[in-house]
Amino acid sequence: MNNQGLAIHEKAELHEMLVFKTNCLNKSQVAQNMVQDTQLKSLLQQDVQASKQSITTLQGLLNQ
Question: To the nearest whole number, what is the mean pLDDT of the chain?
Answer: 92
Q: How confident is the model at residue 1 (pLDDT cuts 50, 70, 90)?
A: very low
pLDDT computed for residue 5 by the predictor? 84
Q: Which residues contact 41 (CB under 8 A, 6 or more apart)?
A: 32, 35
Summarize pLDDT for 7-38 with one digit per residue, the tens.
999 999 999 999 999 999 999 999 999 999 99
CA dihedral 24, 29, 35, 37 (to 10 degrees): 90
Stretch 29-56: mean pLDDT = 96
